[in-house]
Amino acid sequence: MSKGIKRSKLSKSPIAVARVALAVGTSCLRLYAHRYSPKKYTQPQLFACLVLKTFFKTDYRGLSILLRDFDALRWHLGLSAVPHFTTFQKASHRLLKAARARRLFKSTIQRFLKRRRHLRRIAFDSTGLDCGHRSLYYVRRRNSATKQWQTVAYSGYAKLEAAFDCPSHLMLAALVSRGPSPDVDRFVPLLDAVLVHVQPHAVLGDAGFDSEPNHCYARDQHGILSFIPPLAGRPTEKLPTGKYRRQMRQRLNKRYGRYGQRWQAETGFSMIKRRLGSAVSGHTYWSQCRDLLLIAITYNILLLCAAAGFLQSNGVPFFRLQG
């Protein structure tokens, strides 16, 4: 299914992205939020517009202008009129709540994997995204200043923790928060989020996830092989006391040569930042979390478009408003 697709390729067609996003939204969302809603735009249509906002790396006002200027996008979305930018902002608050976002994210995974539920290797990692679009040149100059009052370090960032399928780079789980924060206590919730969708044979993580309880949770409770470099703590020549961490020290680089596939998680994050940007525009904690969730969903949709060859489908709009 994903064998014919280049690993580094994400769809660059806004029409294909709009059609897939509309199909995902229709499968997970009701047409209208309330029985007495104005019924000018459906929830799947608004969700597809939010995906296009992330695709174009623009804001709500820019999204309204894009839809006004591009008739083809409106036609494929079935929009009879362009929503006001405040409509998109309110839809973001409503549609990207945790429960709905999980359903939308799950739908992208199911559409990509179809009936597959067993995967060979998945990789865990986390990354940070800038909050806002400040100048990197300005930050470097401030950090390299000699005066003490000028040494400013921008340490706060939006943090995305994700699990990727190594062969396809499909994102299987996404946890959002604010950094900096340690990764060692995020292994269990990340693995639990993966197990909702698939059953992996092996989990690959970097040294930030290293702990004996994490190995025990994966291996003893779920029968999943876990491979993590045992680098936590002070450097020493002695072997770790834990059973699994001792095995990692003795055998990780000798017998488990496939651990190098953990870098596929780095590739996945690189694809996200190159195609969808390396910053979130939200100012508050919850708006940044919504931005991260939308980035994760949009990334899977882009991957799904390329894998499914959606451009070869017919040109009939997926949904159209009557009248």
Residues 165-187: tens digit of each pLDDT = 999 999 999 999 998 899 999 99
Nearest-angstrom CA–CA distance, 224 and 200: 7
Phi then psi for 166, rounded to 5 degrees? -60, -45
Distance CA 163, CA 110 (A): 15
pTM: 0.87
Looking at residue 233, its pLDDT comes to 81
Query: How many Å is the Cα radius of gyration of the chain?
Result: 22
50 contacts 25 by C-beta, under 8 angstroms: no
The pLDDT assigned to 7 comes to 44
Given the DSSP bridges, would you call strands 118-131 and 157-165 parallel, antiparallel or unpaired? antiparallel
pLDDT tens column, 49-89: 999 999 999 999 999 999 999 999 999 999 999 999 999 99
Can you tell me the distance from the alpha carbon of 162 to that of 169, in angstroms, rounded to the nearest whole number?
Answer: 11
pLDDT of residue 147: 55
Sorted by sequence, the CB contacts under 8 Å of residue 303 that are 6+ apart come out as 10, 11, 112, 168, 169, 170
Alpha helix stretches (DSSP H) within the chain: 14-28, 43-56, 60-69, 71-77, 85-95, 98-113, 136-143, 187-195, 212-216, 222, 243-251, 263-276, 285-308
Backbone dihedral region for residue 31 (phi beyond 0: left; psi -120 to 50: alpha; all else: beta): alpha
The per-residue pLDDT for 255 is: 54
Look up residue 80 and give its DSSP letter: S
What whole-number distance in Å separates Cα of residue 223 and Cα of residue 109? 22
The stretches of 147-262 forming alpha helices (DSSP H) are 187-195, 212-216, 222, 243-251
Number of H helices, E strands in the chain: 13, 6
Structure tokens at 156: 């706060």
| Burial of 76 (C-beta count, 10 Å sphere; 0-12/13-18/19+) | buried
Per-residue tens of pLDDT for the chain, all 323 residues: 444 444 447 889 999 999 999 999 999 999 998 888 888 999 999 999 999 999 999 999 999 999 999 999 999 999 999 999 999 999 999 999 999 999 999 999 999 999 999 999 999 999 999 887 766 666 666 666 555 554 455 568 899 999 999 999 999 999 999 988 999 999 999 999 999 999 999 999 999 999 999 999 999 999 999 999 998 888 888 888 899 999 998 888 755 557 888 999 999 999 999 999 998 988 899 999 999 999 999 999 999 998 776 444 444 444 443 33
Q: Find where tokens 């309110």 sit.
A: 90
